Amino acid sequence: MSASVTSTTESLSACHPDSGPVKPSTPLLTFLERVQETAFNTFGKSNFDPKLYVDLPLKLNLSTTEEALNKLPRSENGSVLAKDLEDFIEQYLEGAGDDLEYLEPKDFVPEPEDFLPKVENHEIRAWALEVHSLWKNLSRKVSNRVERQPQLHTLLPLPKPVMIPGSRFREVYYWDSYWVIRGLLASKMYETAKAIVTNLVFLIEEYGYVLNGARAYYTNRSQPPLLSAMIYEIYTRTGDIKLVQKSLPALLKEHQFWNSGIHRVTIQDPQACDLTLNRYYAMWNKPRPESSVMDKASASKLSNISEKQHFYRELASAAESGWDFSTRWMRNPPDFTTLATTSIVPVDLNAFILGMELNIASFAKLTGDDTTAKHFLEASVARQKAINSVFWNEKKGQWLDYWLDNSTCKEAQIWEAWHQNQNTFASNFIPLWIEPFYSDPSLVDKVVGSLKTSGLLCAAGIATSLTNSGEQWDFPNGWAPLQHMIVEALARSGSKEARSMAEDIAIRWIRTNYVAYKKTGVMHEKFDVEHCGDFGGGG
C-alpha cells in the first residue's frame, strides 16, 4: 500500500538525471523517425509537422517498407526528390489517423435535458449547443487492426471508444481527459465519460501508469495525475459504485508509480522532519520521436553526448508536466537548453497527488476498505504538511515551486527559503483547487489578495506566467485548464470576494472563447489574454 522504500540505485538516479531509467523504443518508431528526418530534409521546415510522420501506420511489414525507403536515391544532405518521397509514403504508409474509426457516441443527443440550466442568453445557449455537437466529430474507436498487428502502428489499442482532442492530436491524452470528462458530464454523456476512465485504467494495468497519450512514443512518461479526480466527478453525478470498485486497484498502482523511485523527493524541514514530495521525471534520454528533428536541433549547441542526453530527459520531463514549454522549467530563461524540469518540485503536481490521496481515501471508505482509507488519509495529512512547509510563501501569499540542489546526493535535501522560485506562474495558485485549502477562510483571503495583485489577471483571463518568452506556456497565453481550476477553487470557497472574482474571470474567459469562435468557427487550445478574441501562439 505505502510507497516503497527508495533503493540505493533509485536514489542515485534521482541525483543524476542521465543515469535514470530509459524505456525501450520500438523498431517501428526508429524507422518512422528516419521517415520524419527524410521528410524534413526533403520538404523543408515551413508547415512541417514532425508528429505526422510517427503517426503513419505501415501498409506492409517493416522490413519491406524499410528496404523501399533505403532504395530511394538521396542527395548529400539526406534529402530525396519530393515526388519520390510522396510516392513512397502513398505506396507504403497509410494516412495518419486511418487506424481510428468514426463512432457515433450512443449517449449523444442534440439537446440534452436540463443542459446548462443557468445559461439564459439565447445566443450563448446556441453557441453552447454548437460546441456540444462537437462530441460527434471527435468520437472514435481504435481499429481492431491495431490489436491484430500492433507492429504496424504507433497507436495503442484501447478497449473502449475514445474522444480525441482534434486537429493534429489523433489519440487520447491523459490530463486533457479530465476536462473532456467534465464537458461530457455537462452534456449528460455519462457512458462516454466512463469509457474514458476504463481506457485509462487499462493503460495502468498494461504499463503501471497512465501514459502521456495512447501512442507507442508516449510510453516513457505520464502526465498530471487526474484520474482519481475524473472518477470522483463521475461518481458524484452518477453514484456508480462499480466504477469506483473497478478503478481502485489501478489508482493504488498509479499512486505507487508517483511515490517510488525517480518521482519521489525527500526534503528536510528546519525541524529536521523528512517531507516526501514528487516531481516530473521522464524515463527517456533521447529526442522525443514525435518531435525528433526539432529536439536534435535544440540540442545541437550542446557539446557532448551526456549533456544532450540530460537535455533530452529534461525535455521529455517538461512534456510529462503538460507545460511544454515554459520558462518555469528553465534555470536561465529564456535559454531553452537550460531546461531543468527534474530539478524542480512542482506545486501543482503535489496538489494533484494530494487530491488523489483524498479521493482514494474516500473511495476506499465507500467500498468498505477502512485500512486503505485510513492509510491514505494519513498520507494526505503528511502531504498537506509538506505542501505548506516547502511551497507556501507567506509574504507572497502563493505556493512557490521548489528548486532542488542537484549538486548533492544526500538522501534528503535541506529546505532553504532561497530555493523557492520567486517568479509568478498561474500554477502558484492551483493548490487552492484542493479541498483542505479552499475551505480555509483566512488562507483564501490571502491567496485572493495575492492573485489580485499578481499581474496574471488580464482583460481576457489569467495569464500562464509574467514572462513573454515565445513559449506557449508563458505570457500572454492563457489555457482553459488553468482558468477552470482557479475559477472553481475561488467559487468553491466560502468567500464572497473570491466568488465574485471567479465570476469575473469566467465571464472574461468565456467571452474571449465566444468571440474567437465567431471569428474562426473553431475552438482554440490557448488564447492571448491581453486581447479579447485573439488566440495564442508559440509552441
- Which active-site residues does the annotation give? 324, 525
Task: State the number of CA atoms in the 13 A half-sphere of 395 facing the CB.
Answer: 3
HEC string of 176-196 equals HHHHHHHHHHHCCCHHHHHHH
> Could you tell me the CA-to-CA distances from 128 to 134, 416, 502, 513, 523 in Å, in that order?
10, 48, 20, 11, 11
> Could you tell me the CA-to-CA distances from 245 to 171, 234, 237, 250, 252 in Å, in that order?
27, 13, 16, 10, 12
DSSP reduced 3-state for 420: strand
| Cα end-to-end distance, the chain, whole Å | 40
Grid coordinates in use for 313?
530527459
User: CA-CA distance, 416 to 405, in Å (whole number)?
Assistant: 10
DSSP reduced 3-state for 413: strand
For the chain, the farthest-separated pair of C-alpha atoms sits apart, in whole angstroms, at 71
- What Rg value do the Cα atoms of the chain yield, rounded? 23
H helix intervals, 116-225: 122-138, 144-148, 176-186, 190-207
Q: Are 92 and 66 in contact (CB under 8 A)?
A: no
| The CA-based dihedral angle spanning residues 135, 521, 168, 87, taken in that order and rounded to the nearest 10 degrees | 120
> Could you tell me the CA-to-CA distances from 469 to 400, 473, 478, 529 in Å, in that order?
20, 9, 14, 15
> Could you tell me the CA-to-CA distances from 266 to 260, 278, 281, 407, 412 in Å, in that order?
11, 8, 15, 15, 5
Q: What are phi and psi of 224, to 5 degrees?
A: -45, 125
Q: What are phi and psi of 475, to 5 degrees?
A: -60, 145
What residue has cell string 530563461?
333
User: CA-CA distance, 529 to 522, in Å (whole number)?
Assistant: 18
User: CA-CA distance, 126 to 133, in Å (whole number)?
Assistant: 11
User: CA-CA distance, 91 to 60, in Å (whole number)?
Assistant: 9
Task: State the number of CA atoms in the 13 A half-sphere of 512 facing the CB.
Answer: 28
